[in-house]
Structure formats: C-alpha cells, structure tokens
C-alpha cells in the first residue's frame, strides 16, 4: 500500500473527487476549498483517503480554521495519516496562534473525528447547534 500526503493546488480536481459526498456535505467541502489558503490531499494507492485544508478568517489573522474530509480508507491506515496531520499542525502553530474548527455532532464518524483531533492536541468546547468547537494551541 503506497500512501502519500501532499499539498494540492488544483481545487477543481479535489472538487471532482468529492462529488460522491451528499449534497449538503459537498457544498460545505466546496466552500472550504474555495476559502482555503492551503489544501492537503491524502492518497492510498492513488485513491483519495482524505482532504484537509486551512481557511483564514482574514488575511492578517493569527487564527487558522481547519477543516477535514475523510473516506473509509483512512481507517485502514490511521497512524500514517495522523502522523502527517501532526506535522502539519506543528507547522501551522508556528505561523498561527491557534487552529480552530468544529466537528459535526450528527456525523456518523464523530467519534473517529474527535479521537483524531485529540491526537492532534485539540481541546473541545460545549456543543452548540449540532457542532462541537475545538481549538489547538501550542503546548
């Protein structure tokens, strides 16, 4: 199994790869892609395992908003993808004071998402409107 994670600069291809998502989720991912300053694509044997990126609230912001979409492939190779994500978070925290985001509490993979984010150092707030906010700060 060949796994690679790389910065991806062709948003049209990522949008095409996420067409299998339900309409609501696809619209969210498409919006995230359009507002992201950088996007990473994780592949396992050239199949899309995950896509994540960072959106900035403003150009001068000291905060980065992290978003992530994963397929079932990530469950087969969790340590490889978590390790790479840890390296990306470390790089982001050198540039930004805090990395923020939310987890959709209604998503069937909410437990996996929370576990993944905890491995990245996330601290969670109280759920609101079906979303669980999180922050990752330098230790």
pLDDT at 11 over 70: no
Give the model's pLDDT for residue 108: 81
**Spelled out in words, what is the top-level CATH class assigned to the domain 3-137?**
alpha beta
| 76-107 pLDDT, tens digit each | 878 888 888 898 899 999 999 999 999 989 88
The answer to whether 109 and 125 are in contact (CB under 8 A) is: no
pLDDT at 129 over 90: yes
Tell me the C-alpha to C-alpha distance, in Å, between residue 120 and each of 2, 21, 28, 58, 132: 23, 25, 22, 24, 16
The domains of the chain are located at 3-137
pTM of this structure: 0.80
């Amino acid at each position: 199994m060949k796994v690679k994670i790389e910065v991806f600069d062709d948003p049209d291809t990522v949008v095409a790869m996420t067409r299998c998502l339900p309409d609501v989720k696809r619209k969210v991912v498409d919006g995230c892609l359009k507002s992201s300053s950088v996007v990473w694509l994780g592949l396992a044997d050239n199949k899309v395992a995950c896509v994540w990126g960072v959106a900035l609230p403003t150009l001068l912001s000291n905060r980065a908003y992290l978003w992530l979409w994963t397929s079932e492939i990530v469950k087969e190779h969790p340590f490889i993808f978590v390790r790479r994500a840890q390296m990306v978070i470390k790089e982001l925290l050198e540039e930004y004071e805090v990395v923020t985001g939310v987890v959709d509490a209604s998503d069937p993979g909410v437990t996996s998402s929370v576990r993944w984010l905890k491995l990245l150092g996330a601290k969670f707030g109280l759920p609101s409107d079906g979303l669980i906010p999180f922050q990752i700060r330098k230790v």
